[in-house]
A and B are shown apart, each in its own frame.
Chain A
């Protein structure tokens, strides 16, 4: 009978093994203070952005709102970079930090946190390969994701990543970057070259030219034959036992829609012909052209995307359909009816060029780009204003003279829920069970909350299924449950006094302290509760905070 006594222990060990196997990430040490220092000499870059906005606001008779307090900004940063709210542990240590530029230092610290590499990799991957899992045998999105997060962790220059994604050869398991082209592979049809060309231009150059496959672009200058020339760069793709490779004998044929005749199309680029080298495979040549320093579309596209991921709204919407770079003779022939970015006035510079140039001149350093944006004025502004006029507010929003209110993504909601159920930081080094819950629950919750897929930067309002899920869903119910191991349980039992109790709930869930009105309402409720029932009251308070718009909307 003794073996029966051992059983729970064995099960526990098995679970621990399973959990660590499933979560699969090696437990890395926390970034050292040394490596997590803010990038040096970024003040000039921040100044350039601030000057841009100062001019823009003055030129449009707009006044920016006040600066937000540091805790609000800290919350934005953790949500944007790691998909979660700050833990109580982090809030405490942030508040004790009285040194200069603490927001900048903390930004750098988060950028060296593995949570950033993982979360941001998923966000970027949506633009690069979409969300579909595809055919598992020949496409491994998970490997691609891990590769991308490793690149972010080592902070490789952005064009290098792009070149590897477009031009890489090999097996999708060994060379995960080739999953970019494998995402365009279909068992029956082989490689869909048109899809790949459309995807590459959209993901890396920020223009939707997919429509030029069948007809000329309605307002930009993309022509059908230009599209075919780009697609021809993928025309020698071949799947072999050693994975993706180029077959120089393959021809790229296009069928004329009128005569139904097939004709061979040679690779060509629509502009900047001399950026494309004559050496290398077709895809390698395309990769060099896409990432050529004079191809401003590359930097403009990634700046717009990163801006969007940080603010929840891109500078130009939609995030991947940018107008031609203004004032560029090579890349932007004059076209009647072409869109103007943000109703730019003559002689004005575009933000994407201010930041894009800076990004290029500083080694295409993604971390640095994020640090600059996060430290610039628009990111530090409050999300509230005395202005009550909807159209004026819209203009302020358009020019980022106020921080926009945006709906949190489901991953951010679940990240925030789980973080708020713990007083310590849930990261690579946290309790395996918390990580396990996060991993297993994430996809269900995301699906039920409504995954926005590739279009996650679209402006959205709330929905009824979301309200139901927040109010009555399993996950919320479990995370607010006041047990000795959850934050709500510990706050209920251990906090010294009701004032403290209330403050802790607010800090953990909303990253702020209660207002006077809120205290006046909730304190009496807490005070009139018998100690045994305190846990329940804290649960109710948690539920209330989770269901508030403040919790579900980035502000």
Chain B
């Protein structure tokens, strides 16, 4: 891992690259300069105007709307009203001619033409943990290594020198937040459960004067530990994480989390829910230059009362997702921001005895778009009825034009500007591609 990380932090043209370890003298100088200017710890030369670059000039970012528990395709983007499998869910027309979605999404219907719909995702993972792993990393679980999530790869491959806050952020948690895997824990999503409650442990406990003394002492103690352990201590990333934590503590960029700075009308549009706040914060974070944000909405695991459950969920998802797309578009950020709305699997066409639907990894839906992808493409199709009762039970039914998860991941990574099939070495020296899939050309805009 150390080598990988070293490439990331020292091999790139990040500010850290010019500051080979030991970092102390230079940091102290920087601190002095910063302190003199009244901005303790903030490194000089930071450009908060990343937000002003627009359109093609912007580096790409990724927002994943994670539907934790597995949303039903039939109650979201792939309804089959009036059929044996459709249940009571009705459909409505959208702004995209010919496309109908579940009628619980009137506001998404107004925006969905900006994105694409895939209705035929297939996987072999019908368990929450395994499914989540696949749908966050593009790989099936492997006991011998942990693959990095989309956001971790993006942050690793597309570093942002100007960013003082973490470049991979997970809002509202869930049980399995996106991880850095073999790229290192430093690429784990920085977890913030509810941005409106503030972020924990960000305030120094003492005034600047004492903090300076504490840090100056830290230099001395660290130096004696490094003696005879230069390489080993470097590999711990201890110093790097302390520095980045310090940088974050006083960063102006933390304002990105302050959603109460937004006009009331915008906040209303996203909805006054935790998830609405999360989506709004995601937009602000991307605007600030954060590479990847994951916003989680749990509660889709409707083994019972599927239809009521999905209606309740839609009340949060519909306004927030629609407002996010609209807002990104308004600010000319959609062309540089890839949006993916997905969960670990879909739900069975068959309705069980409790009015519920169970796990279904064969033919489920997602929304993907922005970031320069084409828009208005609908891929795949599921049967209005499974071919037989047995198919519904046995997971052998296949949708038309099945799309494999790795292919979706390859598409997204390439669109972000990442060499999706790049082979990197894991810490134990095993070569591994970022994605094993092939990009779906039908989603890519012709140039």
Interface, chain A (partner B; CB < 8 A): 208, 210-211, 260, 317-318, 321, 382-386, 388, 390, 393, 405, 407, 448, 450, 459-469, 471-473, 477, 515, 517-518, 521-522, 525, 536, 540-541, 543-545, 547-550, 552-553, 555
Residues in A neighbouring B185, C-beta threshold 8 A? 450, 460-463
Interface, chain B (partner A; CB < 8 A): 1-2, 5, 143-144, 166, 184-186, 188, 190-191, 200-206, 210, 213-215, 217-218, 220-225, 227-233, 235-242, 244-246, 248-249, 394, 427-428
A-B contact pairs, 24 of them (CB 8 A): A321-B143, A384-B228, A388-B231, A390-B2, A461-B2, A461-B185, A461-B235, A461-B237, A462-B185, A462-B241, A464-B244, A464-B245, A465-B190, A468-B200, A471-B201, A471-B245, A471-B246, A472-B204, A525-B213, A525-B217, A544-B214, A544-B221, A548-B221, A555-B225
- Nearest residue in B to A450 (C-beta to C-beta)? B185
Most buried by B among A464, A521, A548: A464
Q: Is B186 a contact partner of A464 (Cβ separation < 8 A)? A: yes
A29 to B300: give the CA distance in the assembly, Å: 53
Q: Is B224 a contact partner of A517 (Cβ separation < 8 A)? A: yes
A317 to B203: give the CA distance in the assembly, Å: 39
Residues in A neighbouring B1, C-beta threshold 8 A? 459, 461
Q: Is B225 a contact partner of A550 (Cβ separation < 8 A)? A: yes
From B186, B201, B221, give the contact of A469 (CB < 8 A): B201
A536 to B200: give the CA distance in the assembly, Å: 24
From A208, A462, A553, A555, give the contact of B143 (CB < 8 A): A208
Q: Is A210 a contact partner of B143 (Cβ separation < 8 A)? A: yes
Q: Is B241 a contact partner of A467 (Cβ separation < 8 A)? A: yes
Residues in A neighbouring B218, C-beta threshold 8 A? 544, 547-548
A509 to B185: give the CA distance in the assembly, Å: 27
Q: Is B204 a contact partner of A471 (Cβ separation < 8 A)? A: yes
Q: Is A472 a contact partner of B237 (Cβ separation < 8 A)? A: no
Residues in B neighbouring A477, C-beta threshold 8 A? 205
Q: Is B213 a contact partner of A464 (Cβ separation < 8 A)? A: no
Q: Is B217 a contact partner of A522 (Cβ separation < 8 A)? A: yes
Q: Is B166 a contact partner of A464 (Cβ separation < 8 A)? A: yes
Q: Is A321 a contact partner of B144 (Cβ separation < 8 A)? A: yes
Whether A462 touches B238, Cβ cut-off 8 Å, given contacts A405-B229, A472-B203, A540-B217, is yes
Whether A522 touches B202, Cβ cut-off 8 Å, given contacts A461-B237, A464-B190, A467-B242, is no
From B188, B221, B231, B249, give the contact of A463 (CB < 8 A): B188
Residues in B neighbouring A547, C-beta threshold 8 A? 214, 218, 242
From B2, B214, B224, give the contact of A515 (CB < 8 A): B224
A390 to B215: give the CA distance in the assembly, Å: 28
Residues in B neighbouring A318, C-beta threshold 8 A? 143-144
Q: Is A407 a contact partner of B236 (Cβ separation < 8 A)? A: yes
A97 to B231: give the CA distance in the assembly, Å: 36
Min CB–CB distance A420 → chain B (angstroms): 14
- Nearest residue in A to B226 (C-beta to C-beta)? A549
Whether A405 touches B214, Cβ cut-off 8 Å, given contacts A321-B143, A463-B241, A471-B201, is no
Q: Is A540 a contact partner of B210 (Cβ separation < 8 A)? A: yes
Residues in B neighbouring A555, C-beta threshold 8 A? 225, 229
Q: Is B222 a contact partner of A548 (Cβ separation < 8 A)? A: yes
From A211, A464, A517, give the contact of B241 (CB < 8 A): A464
Residues in A neighbouring B245, C-beta threshold 8 A? 464, 467-468, 471
Q: Is A461 a contact partner of B244 (Cβ separation < 8 A)? A: no
A405 to B225: give the CA distance in the assembly, Å: 11
Q: Is A472 a contact partner of B231 (Cβ separation < 8 A)? A: no
Residues in B neighbouring A548, C-beta threshold 8 A? 218, 221-222, 225
Q: Is B225 a contact partner of A386 (Cβ separation < 8 A)? A: no
Nearest 10 A/B pairs, CB to CB: A384-B228, A544-B217, A467-B245, A549-B238, A461-B237, A468-B201, A550-B225, A467-B241, A472-B201, A548-B221
A228 to B35: give the CA distance in the assembly, Å: 67
A517 to B225: give the CA distance in the assembly, Å: 12
Q: Is A384 a contact partner of B221 (Cβ separation < 8 A)? A: no
A208 to B145: give the CA distance in the assembly, Å: 13
Q: Is A461 a contact partner of B184 (Cβ separation < 8 A)? A: yes
Q: Is B238 a contact partner of A472 (Cβ separation < 8 A)? A: no
Whether A522 touches B190, Cβ cut-off 8 Å, given contacts A472-B204, A477-B205, A540-B214, is no
Residues in A neighbouring B205, C-beta threshold 8 A? 472, 477
From A464, A473, A521, A549, give the contact of B233 (CB < 8 A): A549
- Nearest residue in A to B199 (C-beta to C-beta)? A468
Residues in A neighbouring B203, C-beta threshold 8 A? 472
- Nearest residue in A to B6 (C-beta to C-beta)? A390
Min CB–CB distance A146 → chain B (angstroms): 27
Min CB–CB distance B40 → chain A (angstroms): 14
A466 to B200: give the CA distance in the assembly, Å: 11
A482 to B222: give the CA distance in the assembly, Å: 23
Whether A540 touches B201, Cβ cut-off 8 Å, given contacts A208-B143, A461-B184, A515-B224, is no
Q: Is A541 a contact partner of B217 (Cβ separation < 8 A)? A: yes
Most buried by B among A208, A471, A550: A471
Q: Is B225 a contact partner of A467 (Cβ separation < 8 A)? A: no
Q: Is B202 a contact partner of A459 (Cβ separation < 8 A)? A: no
Q: Is B186 a contact partner of A448 (Cβ separation < 8 A)? A: no
Most buried by B among A208, A460, A547, A552: A547
Min CB–CB distance B359 → chain A (angstroms): 12
- Nearest residue in A to B245 (C-beta to C-beta)? A467
A517 to B222: give the CA distance in the assembly, Å: 12
- Nearest residue in B to A393 (C-beta to C-beta)? B231
Q: Is B232 a contact partner of A467 (Cβ separation < 8 A)? A: no
A545 to B219: give the CA distance in the assembly, Å: 10
Most buried by A among B206, B210, B241, B428: B241
Min CB–CB distance A550 → chain B (angstroms): 4
A386 to B5: give the CA distance in the assembly, Å: 24
- Nearest residue in B to A510 (C-beta to C-beta)? B221
A385 to B185: give the CA distance in the assembly, Å: 27
